[in-house]
Structure 1
Amino acid sequence: MAWLAAGEGYEIALIDGKVAARSATGRAAGRQLKSLPKALREHPEVDRLRRLAEWLDRHEAACTAQVDAWMVSSLPVPTALLASVWQDEAWQGALRDTAVVGDDPDEVGFLRDATSSGELKVVNLDGETVRLSPRTVTLPHPVLLPDLDDVRDFAAELGIVQRVEQIHRATWHKPEGLEDKATEVRDYAGGVFPHRFGLAARATSLGYRVSGGYATCAVRDSGRGVEAAVWIGEPYYDAETATGALTWHDADGRTVRLAEVGPVAWSEGMRMAAALYAGRKIEEGKDA
């Protein structure tokens, strides 16, 4: 970003998301200062840059959240849309190196570029850069990738780092032999927390929604919306609480039988339950 005049003898700019200053006069002209001079701290231009930095942070977070939603829901994304937002650094950072699938569901590649003509450049699992022009692409949830371990190994060889957690996302596969009428999973039930507020705060910090007595996450799986829910205690309950069972509900609020829960919804629900349980109170000592 260009340096802007601010006050007598100073210039300011946004560098790495923070307002930086440098002297514009004298022998120190052009030298960046270690901190903002007192004379600049309340300057209108400094305040304007701070507000811009806050907006950029929110924009980056929103782009990342949208790409994550596309991935979790395996929604088809128009290639033209990716091309139109690619020039935005925040969108590019969220999308770059995500695994995408075009017309051939067996051809997975890591997104490296999207041209204004609507063409995507991806690195396939053979290490070759190829050009794709499908009408839409999907950002597959890792539980849907049949050779996930191979994809992870190849990504490590390329040094790929994804802003949106995709290929290294923790996954759970639904076990076989579930009872036909079973509707809940208790693998991560019984995690004790000193109070409900702490458990709710943990859920919120992990990106999950807290509604009533539940922590929830919404997933679109196999063409329908499903919500996974973990009981975290009655609202405003101020005593010790514990994680409850994990269940799934359809768009009308009806409980979904475990046998009918799709692979993405199962994995994401278990991921949420495990993440909440991991913050439980651990007893110490010989009787723990």
Structure 2
Amino acid sequence: MAWLAAGEGYEVALVEGRVTARSTTGRSAGRQLKSLPKAVREHPETDRLRRFTEWLDRHAASCSAQVDAWMVSSLPVPTGLLARVWPDEAWRAALRDLVVVGDDPDQAGFLRDVTPEGEVRLVDLDGETVRISPATVTLPHPVLLPDLEELREFASELGVVQGVDQIHRAVWHKPADLAEKATQVKDFAGGRYPSRFGLAARASALGYRVSGGYATCRVRDGGSTTEATVWIGEPYWDGDSETGGLGWQDADGRAVTLPDVPPVAWSEGMRMAAALYAGRTVEEGKDA
């Protein structure tokens, strides 16, 4: 980014995401300063750069959240849209190296580039660069990827670091021997917190919605919407609290029996319940 005048004898610019100053006079002219002089800290140009930095952070977070939503829902994304956003560094950081599938479900690869014409370039499991031009692509949820372990191993070999957690996302596959009429999973029930507020705060910090006495996670899966819910205690209770059972409900609020929970909704619900349980108070000592 270009250097901007910030008062007599100084210029400022964004360097690696922070406002940096340099002197324009004397023997130190052109040298970057370790800290901002008072006159520079209070200059309007510095304030504008700080606010621009904050906007960039919000923009990057928004891009990541949108890509995560596409991936969790396995929604088809128009390649024309990817071509339009790809030049944006924040969008590119969120999208690059995600596993993408085109028209052929057997042809998956790590996204490396999208041309202005909508050509998508992938690196497949053979290490080959593949060029496809479908109308839409899918960013599959990892529970739907049949070659997940191979993709993880190959990503490690390539040194792939994804901006949005996809292939290394914790996944749970639904067991085949679930009781026909069961509606709750108790695996992560009983995680005790000193207060209900602390439990609700952890749910919110992890990105989950808190509604009434529940932490919830809504997933669009296979054309339907399913919401996973974990009981976290009465909203105004000021004593200790603990995680309850995990259940799912459909768009009309009806309980979904466990055998009927879609695979992505199952995995994301279990992921939420496990994350809440992981923050519990763990007692130490021989009587724990």
TM range (shorter): over 0.9
Q: State the one-letter code of the partner of 1:216.
A: T
Residue in structure 2 matched with residue 233 of structure 1 by the alignment: 233
In structure 1, what is the Cα distance between the partners aligned to 2:251 and 2:49?
43
Q: Which residue of 1 aligns with 2:8?
A: 8
Structure 2 residue aligned with 1:58:
58
Q: Cα offset for 1:252?
A: 1.2
What are the within-5 Å matches in structure 2 for residues 181-220 of structure 1? 181-220=181-220
How many angstroms apart in 1 are the aligned matches of 2:130 and 2:169? 25
> Which residues in structure 2 correspond to 1:269-280 (within 5 Å)?
269-280=269-280
| C-alpha deviation, 1:242, in angstroms | 0.3
Instruction: Measure, in 1, the Cα distance between the counterparts of 2:227 and 2:13.
Output: 44
Which residue is 1:113 aligned to?
113
- 1:75 deviates by 0.2
Q: Secondary structure at the match of 1:69?
A: helix
The amino acid of 1:129's aligned partner reads T
Residues 135-168 of structure 1 deviation map (CA, whole Å, 9 limit, x = unaligned): 0000001100112111110111111000100000
CA distance in 2, matches of 1:124, 1:287: 53
CA RMSD of aligned residues (A): 0.7
- Provide the C-alpha distance between the structure 2 equivalents of 1:277 and 1:285, rounded to a whole number of angstroms: 20
* Residues 29-178 of structure 1 aligned to structure 2 (within 5 Å): 29-178=29-178
Rounded Cα–Cα distance in structure 1 between residues aligned with 2:20 and 2:253? 51
Measured in 2, the distance between the counterparts of 1:57 and 1:93 equals 13
2:287 aligns with 287
Percent identity over paired residues: 74
The match for 1:19 is: 19
CA-CA distance at 1:116 after TM superposition = 0.3
- TM-score, normalisation: structure 1: 0.99
User: What CA distance in whole angstroms lies between the structure 1 residues aligned with 2:87 and 2:198?
Assistant: 40
Deviates more, 1:74-83 or 1:38-47: 38-47
Tell me the secondary structure at the aligned position of residue 227 of structure 1.
Answer: strand
Partner residue in 2 for 1:262? 262
Q: For 1:24-76, what per-residue CA distance to the aligned partner results, in whole angstroms no more than 9, with x for missing partners?
A: 11111110000100111111111100000000000000000000000000000
4+ residue segments displaced more than 6 Å: none
Structure 1 gaps, min length 5: none
- Once the two structures are superposed, what CA deviation does each residue of 1:181-205 show, in whole Å capped at 9, x if it has no partner? 1111110000000001111111111
SS at match of 1:109: strand
TM-score by length of 2: 0.99
Q: Find the residue that maps to 1:56 and give its secondary structure.
A: helix
C-alpha separation between the residues in 2 aligned to 1:261 and 1:16?
45
> The residue matched to 1:25 in structure 2 has which SS?
coil
How far is 1:176 from its partner? 1.1
Find the aligned partners of 1:19 and 1:70 in 2 and give their Cα distance. 33
Separation in 2 of the partners of 1:237 and 1:45? 48
What secondary structure does 1:190 align onto?
coil
Distance in 2 (alpha carbons) for counterparts of 1:212 and 1:11:
52
Return the letter of the residue paired with 2:201.
Answer: A
Q: Distance in 2 between matches of 1:37 and 1:249?
A: 57
For 2:259 and 2:53, the matched residues in 1 are separated by: 47
Shift of 1:259: 0.9
**Which piece of structure 1 moves more, 56-65 or 13-22?**
13-22
1:236 CA displacement: 2.1
CA distance in 2, matches of 1:129, 1:106: 15
Distance in 1 (alpha carbons) for counterparts of 2:217 and 2:3: 43
